[in-house]
Chains A and B, each alone.
Chain A
């Protein structure tokens, strides 16, 4: 009796709850399926889907990376340049009677240049690395657009340095960085240099950080000028005032040439790779997939369950090998005829496809799959879901430009690792009534 009650109770309850206890009956069993779908992988070689490859550099400026680079080798010479704002005109200090007062007559007697470095990524490992501080004397320069050759490089105004590489510059001080002692190197500046930098009417004022050690390379995270000031209300004491730079950038040479047989993404200024994509409308004989499919078979957007652009990483030039994990973004090119100036569509990946630094150094040849499923579906459909003309070209680029000084190269057409378009397709005869 108890079993009967337990069995009947749910059905009675279902009536009382009137629809709150719905569950669809689920049957098992392979043989009962009224459809027999087939999933296959369709791999298109580069020549079968891509054309009009363009690798274009110059997007963004080095100053937008937000860090400095110091390097010296046979393949690269990189220097960090920076400028500090005008010095503070007053400071709150304690006078000889112990009263805190605002002193507007400060005398700057010296300063420390505090340079914070990336202590994880530098060469030679273990150091020491000597850093030189030089005062720029090449005339007016622009903290945003300055490059190795040009002090100013803006629209309608391009002026070269007197000497390429942010020169000339006057040596002021040098200090070795010993990484085992910390991530900071402090360079003591004399009062004359400090006094010279206080002239804000001098648009050429600035500082260059470089190294004299062949094979050295380091990234400058931040630079702070720690001023020593003598207040007039208490001349027996010194107060310290810290200033951050108003401009922090780097210049380098040589700029890598546009590549052949290579796709390139990133760097500062950044590289982009553009190419058109075409997906064949059907799979036809001869094709190995026809052993599983009834060829010819039309490719439909619904059949595309996944699509990726498979790239093969290659070794980057030593000076430009990534030091950190970077990211490769892919976006549709909305007007391919205007490449590289075409506007781009939204990203397919919120943060791009992450790539490890060693894939472009010690472990080249790694496959990087960039998902492009919705893009390929639109191409196959001949229109977007909104009914608009689909984009027919892609751009590979950094999610943020520029993201880093280093760039990520991939094997290009004509190489063994040329890009492939990998599409997973599921085919079925259609859903029918019994």
Chain B
């Protein structure tokens, strides 16, 4: 059975090279845009990924795995479509990624082991410009492209522990790992001069240690509170072997997350969440751009009385606004959007969910000064439990 549980994880792992595909034109600022490893339910509720009712394998809230009675695999896929305004060149991008894959394995009644893989930063974008370059007395049309590929993901392992039936702790530790590859290409109009493109490229591998600690409290039967702290060491970017690029080191901030859920009626609950991280010291190490103190706020409602094909199918509505960690062209960048989501309990046994699917669709925008882009983002999470 364990193999049956691990099978989907292995399948997802084979797809991971494409896991950090482009999601935003704003990735071009600083070290990129954050890839928040949240599942579709958290997205649908506009939360910060902590403090939701129920049990889940959550990257930012390991304590939330407490309560899972069976080995559980969860995988989240996310597709997005982004369109920049004219000031951003009118570019459009589609992307698909797997921001979170996790495995939870109960070890007795009070302990759940966790292995998780999640996205952290996205650095995939391309700048293009057309210009005329005088070459040997001839004005030659030239297209310059500067491509950035790669990003940073996190691989962590840890456990959730139930101190009491109303208080749980969780902790995971691991590494941020990834790569950056930057390439400049100058293409000459070959109808004017038969010239090879000029290509300059450099690649780095990145690593940093990381630890996530969280706590979950149910002070009242209808209330849940949770909070987490993510610590990361310096992100070391080392040139790949044979590359002459400069090695760099970027401090990563402490990240605080908090969330609360409240049962309003037997079929309706509300949740709010916030996160905060100070990226200014990271920004101080940048040659281009700067970091900000980034705050996110959000919340939503969940209605659990819905059904589809005779199965439970909750509906969710949420809103979230979040500062992006790096300024874009000197302006603080903000992401905001509404979300609509739902779920479907595919299979359950004696009240224990065996298979479930959640989906959320977000419509939002990112702005920085006069720059803006709109996006549609769809997140789907599949959860399978078994023994």
Are B79 and A424 in contact, CB atoms less than 8 angstroms apart? no
A4 to B379, alpha carbons, bound, how many Å?
Answer: 16
Task: Name, among A18, A24, A29, A30, the residue most crowded by chain B CB atoms within 10 Å (CB to CB).
Answer: A24
Q: Is the CB of B89 within 8 A of A432?
A: no
- Cα separation A391 to B18 with both chains bound (whole Å): 43
A42 and chain B: residue at smallest CB distance? B136
> Across the interface, do A431 and B81 meet the contact criterion of CB distance under 8 Å?
no
Select one of A23, A24, A430 contacting B245, CB under 8 A. Answer: A430
CB pair A23 B89 closer than 8 Å: no
Is A11 a contact partner of B361 (Cβ separation < 8 A)?
Answer: yes
| A433-B376 CB under 8 A given contacts A11-B79, A11-B80 | no
A433–B182 CB distance below 8 A: yes
- The reply on B163 being an interface residue by CB < 8 A is no
Q: Does A192 contact B (CB under 8 A)?
A: no
Select one of B25, B124, B128, B245 contacting A431, CB under 8 A.
B245
In Å, the complex CA distance between A14 and B375 comes to 13
B62 → A minimal CB distance (Å): 26
Task: Quote the shortest CB–CB distance from A323 to chain B (angstroms).
Answer: 28
Count chain B CB atoms within 10 A of each CB in A26, A30, A41 and give the residue with the most. Answer: A26
Q: Does A373 contact B (CB under 8 A)?
A: yes
Which residues of B are found within 8 Å of A303, using beta-carbon distances? 198
Report the interface size class on chain B.
35 or more
Contacting residues, chain A, for B287 (C-beta < 8 A): 432-434
Given contacts A33-B127, A371-B194, A434-B286, contact A26 B91 (CB under 8 A): yes
CA separation between A41 and B248, bound complex, in Å?
Answer: 34
Contact A11–B129 (Cβ < 8 Å): no
What DSSP secondary structure best describes chain A's contact surface? mixed
A385 CB-CB contact with B under 8 Å: no
Q: Does B112 contact A (CB under 8 A)?
A: no
| A184→B80 CA distance, assembly (Å) | 75
Q: Check if B240 is an interface residue, CB within 8 A of chain A.
A: no
Contact in complex: B28, A10 (CB < 8 Å): no
A48 at the interface (CB under 8 A from B): no
Residues in B neighbouring A32, C-beta threshold 8 A = 28, 127, 329
Q: Is A7 an interface residue (CB 8 A)?
A: yes
**CB–CB A26/B198 < 8 A:** no
Q: Are B126 and A30 in contact (CB under 8 A)?
A: no
Q: Among B94, B183, B202, B289, which residue has its beta carbon within 8 angstroms of that of A432?
A: B202
- A255→B144 CA distance, assembly (Å): 54
Type the 1/0 row for B94-110, where 1 means its CB is closer than 8 Å to any CB of A: 11100000000000000
Contact residues of A between 13 and 66, Cβ < 8 Å to B: 13-30, 32-35, 37, 39-41, 43
Beta-carbon nearest neighbor of A306 in chain B: B195
Interface centre among A8, A25, A424, by most B CB within 10 Å? Answer: A25
In the complex the two chains form, is A27's CB within 8 Å of B88's CB? Answer: yes
Give the residues in chain B near A295, CB-CB below 8 Å. none
Known A-B contacts A25-B24, A28-B88, A424-B193; the reply to A15 vs B82 at CB < 8 A is no
Interface residue? B237 (CB, 8 A): yes
Q: A7-B363, A27-B84 are in contact. Are A19 and B21 (CB under 8 A)?
A: yes
Output the least CB separation between B96 and chain A (Å): 5
Closest to B83 in A: A7
Given A11-B361, A431-B245, are A424 and B135 neighbors across the interface (CB < 8 Å)? Answer: yes
The answer on a CB contact under 8 Å between A21 and B195 is no
A302 close to chain B: CB less than 8 A:
yes
User: A11-B377, A27-B28 are contacts. A33–B237 as well, Cβ < 8 Å?
Assistant: no
Contacts of A24 in B (CB 8 A): 22, 93, 124-126, 147
Give Cα A196–Cα B325 distance, bound, in whole angstroms: 101
**B200 x A30 contact (CB < 8 A):** no
A34/B288 contact (C-beta < 8 A), A25-B125, A27-B125, A28-B91 known: yes
Query: Which partner residue on chain B sits nearest A14 by CB separation?
Result: B79
Does any Cβ of B come within 8 Å of A428's Cβ? yes
Closest B residue, CB atoms, query A40: B135
Given A21-B79, A431-B202, A33:B93 Cβ within 8 A: no
Q: Is B184 an interface residue (CB 8 A)?
A: yes
Report yes or no: B89 in contact with A27, Cβ–Cβ below 8 A. Answer: yes
- Given the interface pairs A12-B361, A22-B21, A306-B196, the reply to whether A30 lies near B94 with Cβ below 8 Å is no
Distance in angstroms from A224 CB to nearest chain B CB is: 44
A422 at the interface (CB under 8 A from B): yes
Asked if B198 and A35 make an inter-chain contact with CB atoms under 8 angstroms apart, the answer reads no
Query: Would you call B195 and A13 a contact (CB within 8 A)?
Result: no
* CB of B31 within 8 Å of the partner chain: yes
Complex contacts, A22 vs chain B, CB 8 Å: 18, 21-22, 94-96
Cross-chain contact A39 with B200 (CB below 8 angstroms): no
* Residues of chain A contacted by B349 (CB below 8 angstroms): none
A174 within 8 A of B: no
A120 contacts B by Cβ under 8 Å: no
Contact (Cβ within 8 A) A27 B128: yes
Which residue on B lies nearest to A17, using beta carbons?
A: B96
Q: Bound state CA distance, A39 and B144, in angstroms?
A: 12
Mask for B176-220, Cβ within 8 A of A = 1, else 0?
A: 000010111010100001111111111010000000000000000
Instruction: Please tell me if the beta carbons of A39 and B186 are within 8 angstroms of each other in the complex.
Output: yes
Asked if A354 lies at the interface with its beta carbon under 8 angstroms from chain B, I say no
The distance from the CB of A102 to the nearest CB of chain B, in whole angstroms, is: 62
Q: How far is the CA of A373 from the CA of B377 in the complex (A)?
A: 47
Interface residues of A in 407-434 (CB under 8 A from B): 422, 424, 426, 428, 430-434
A195 interface residue (CB < 8 Å to B): no
Interface contact A433-B204, CB-CB below 8 Å: yes
Q: Is there a chain A Cβ closer than 8 Å to B1's Cβ?
A: no
**Which residues of chain A have C-beta atoms less than 8 A from B15's C-beta?**
18-19
Q: Flag if B126 contacts A11 (CB, 8 Å).
A: no
For B46, what are the chain A residues with a Cβ–Cβ distance below 8 Å?
none
Interfacial residues, chain A to chain B (CB-CB below 8 A): 4, 7-8, 10-30, 32-35, 37, 39-41, 43, 302-303, 305-306, 371, 373, 422, 424, 426, 428, 430-434
A-B contact pairs, 27 of them (CB 8 A): A11-B375, A14-B81, A14-B96, A19-B15, A19-B21, A21-B96, A22-B18, A22-B95, A22-B96, A23-B93, A23-B94, A26-B128, A28-B88, A28-B89, A34-B127, A37-B200, A39-B186, A305-B197, A371-B194, A424-B136, A426-B198, A431-B184, A433-B204, A433-B246, A433-B287, A434-B287, A434-B288
Interface of B toward A, CB cutoff 8 Å: 15, 18, 21-22, 24-25, 27-28, 30-31, 77-82, 84, 87-96, 124-129, 131, 133, 135-137, 142, 144, 146-147, 180, 182-184, 186, 188, 193-202, 204, 237, 244-246, 248, 286-289, 329, 361, 363, 375-380
A30-B131, A41-B135, A41-B136 given. 16 additional CB < 8 A pairs? A7-B81, A8-B363, A11-B376, A15-B378, A16-B79, A19-B18, A22-B22, A24-B126, A25-B84, A25-B124, A29-B89, A35-B184, A371-B194, A432-B182, A432-B202, A433-B245
For the complex of A and B, 6 pairs with smallest distance between CB atoms: A28-B89, A14-B79, A25-B93, A41-B136, A15-B79, A426-B198
